[in-house]
Structure 1
């Protein structure tokens, strides 16, 4: 894992990467709000795993205290709070099946439990979107989570996320 990036720098990286891809049915502001929601969902899943907090507690905390907050003196970009909550609830509700889907794409000698907690959160959130939100193009989902991985890890982990999620997409969507 590389030196932790500040949330502001992560959002700047994601904004730059966002220029490279589009979800045609969404405005630029809506795409940005989904990106922030994905980042927050990964953070929430990480927090839940480490602190053992329940899903509704974490969603409420993010809604009441983290969204609409300042980061390093600047306002956080608006998040799609419904998208955030859908990802978090979806991952928690379907975690057994999601973990099975992700494990199927790990090398035979790797266990999901051996991965870094943030990496697990990235893979779970991305796998949930690929499996459950087929209205979102797989390229968008994979690109978003790869960019998030780049914000927290070295290129090797980002490539790992890319390969694992691409495999999950093939399994879930047949393409």
Structure 2
């Protein structure tokens, strides 16, 4: 698994955990940053995971608006928390991180959805992120 893939998984854990516990993302990021400082093995994947989590925190309103706009037939509250976290992460990479090619962001999110969420989640995540990437390209 690549360093960025590990970081994405770590960011997903952070976003998902904060969502389930009702924690502010900034508080969850601060807690995870302290863990990374205390444990050098965790520090290696923390840099990009922090970038993702902070990027989502900084743009959460815009990201959630995109999810609401493109999630046909689903409200943000109805979708599984892991899907919500994956979509937030994927949208941040597509819309706000020009260093990551859109197909990579989509493939990584779909891979995590396949591994960690429901049977239908990978198709849902793929379709929504692809629509956002297409819209961005126009």
TM-score by length of 2: 0.86
Name the larger-Rg structure: 1
Size of the aligned set, in residue pairs, is 137
Q: Please say if residues 123 and 161 of structure 1, whose CA atoms lie closer than 8 Å, have aligned partners that are also in contact.
A: yes
Structure 2 residue 29 is matched with structure 1 residue 59? yes
Q: Which residue of 2 aligns with 1:43?
A: 13
Displacement, 1:37? 1.0
| Bigger fraction of residues in helix | 2
Provide runs of 4+ in structure 1 moved above 3 Å.
63-69, 75-78
Gaps of 5+ in 2: none
- Over aligned residues, Cα RMSD in angstroms? 2.2
Displacement, 1:68? 8.8
- Alpha-carbon distance in structure 2 between the residues aligned to 1:171 and 1:113: 24
Q: What is the CA deviation profile of residues 119-161 of structure 1, one whole-angstrom value per residue up to 9, with x for unaligned ones?
A: 1000011001100012211111001111111111244210111
- Alpha-carbon distance in structure 2 between the residues aligned to 1:159 and 1:68: 38
Gaps of 5+ in 1: 1-14, 16-31, 70-74
- Alpha-carbon distance in structure 1 between the residues aligned to 2:11 and 2:17: 10
Q: Which residue of 2 aligns with 1:19?
A: none
Q: Please say if residues 68 and 78 of structure 1, whose CA atoms lie closer than 8 Å, have aligned partners that are also in contact.
A: no
Q: Which residue of 2 aligns with 1:26?
A: none
